[in-house]
């Protein structure tokens, strides 16, 4: 776990665990995470030459807060249901933005890889939590794709649904299983 992009992606753990109860909310928080982390990385690149230490952290905080506020306003305009479901978790994406300021990678796309990792983990957790927890997929798809998507919900009656997986402890359990599987298949000897 010593790779910086993994650490940056896991700084958004609270947002990740709280917002991935449904696949639709997971996709949305993933897209917002990719956009915000990439833009913060792009905007921080020229500031690194001018600022150091606490000034750099404050700049990352200001940029992240501004971009997340804009993302929240756009989300509220686009889909009020999604905004209501995700409003609590959007500010928590500031932690990875602060992590970008501390990162050694000073390239303009320093936030893109952690953003993609965050989005992939969000979608995977959302898929597993909704599929195994509610025994459905694409529940509330109309929140993201409009009224035409209201009939897209797939029922998985053979799974039955494990209610624990829709709650925060179930999200921790699934995340632990996913991290253990990734570590097992990565074959890395470092602790």
Contacts 24+ apart (CB under 8 A), 184-190: 190/2
Q: Token match 């992240």: residue?
A: 64
Measured CA to CA in angstroms, residue 3 lies from 50, 89, 190 at distances of 27, 25, 11
Between CA 93 and CA 107 the distance in angstroms is 20
State the pTM of this model. 0.86
Q: What is the pLDDT of residue 1?
A: 47
Strands 136-137 and 154-155: antiparallel
Per-residue pLDDT tens digits for 129-182:
998 888 888 888 888 888 888 888 888 877 777 888 888 888 899 988 988 888
Using pLDDT thresholds of 50, 70 and 90, give the confidence band for residue 2: low
pLDDT in tens, 103-132: 877 777 888 888 898 899 999 999 999 988
How distant, in Å, are the alpha carbons of 86, 93, 98, 124, 165 from that of 132? 21, 26, 34, 12, 7
Of 38, 25, 48, 43, nearest in space to 130 by CA = 25
Residue 191: per-residue pLDDT: 56
Round to whole Å and give the CA distance between 77 and 70: 11
Task: Indicate if the pLDDT at residue 33 is higher than 90.
Answer: yes
The residue that leads in pLDDT, 37 or 51, is: 37
- Asked if the model's pLDDT at residue 11 lies above 70, the reply is yes
Nearest to 68 by CA among 94, 95, 34, 38: 94
Q: Are 50 and 132 in contact (CB under 8 A)?
A: no
* Residues 20 and 125: beta-carbon distance below 8 Å: yes
Rounded to whole angstroms, the Cα distance separating 105 from 99 reads 11
Give me Rg for the CA atoms of the chain. 17
Residue tagged 């996709």 (tokens): 27
Question: Could you read off the pLDDT of 56-99 as tens digits, one per residue?
Answer: 889 989 999 999 999 999 999 999 999 999 999 999 999 888 88
DSSP secondary structure of 36-105: HHHHHHHHHHHHTTT--THHHHHHHHHHHHHHHHHHHHHHHHH-HHHHHHHTTTGGGGHHHHHHHHH-S-
Between 67 and 55, residue with greater pLDDT:
67
Please say whether the beta carbons of 175 and 17 come within 8 A. yes
């Amino acid at each position: 776990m010593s790779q910086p992009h993994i650490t940056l992606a896991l700084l958004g753990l609270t947002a990740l665990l709280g917002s991935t109860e449904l696949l639709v909310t997971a996709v949305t928080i993933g897209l917002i995470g990719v956009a915000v982390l990439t833009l913060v990385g792009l905007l921080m690149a020229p500031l690194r030459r001018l600022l150091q230490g606490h000034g750099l952290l404050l700049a990352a905080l200001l940029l992240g807060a501004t971009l997340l506020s804009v993302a929240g306003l756009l989300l509220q305009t686009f889909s009020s249901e999604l905004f209501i479901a995700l409003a609590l978790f959007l500010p928590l994406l500031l932690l990875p933005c602060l992590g970008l300021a501390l990162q050694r990678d000073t390239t303009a796309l320093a936030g893109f890889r952690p953003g993609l990792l965050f989005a992939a983990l969000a979608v995977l957790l959302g898929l597993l939590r909704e599929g195994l927890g509610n025994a459905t997929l694409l529940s509330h798809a109309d929140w993201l794709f409009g009224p035409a998507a209201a009939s897209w919900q797939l029922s998985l009656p053979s799974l039955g649904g494990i209610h624990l997986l829709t709650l925060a402890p179930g999200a921790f359990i699934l995340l632990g299983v996913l991290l253990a599987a990734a570590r097992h298949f990565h074959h890395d000897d470092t602790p």
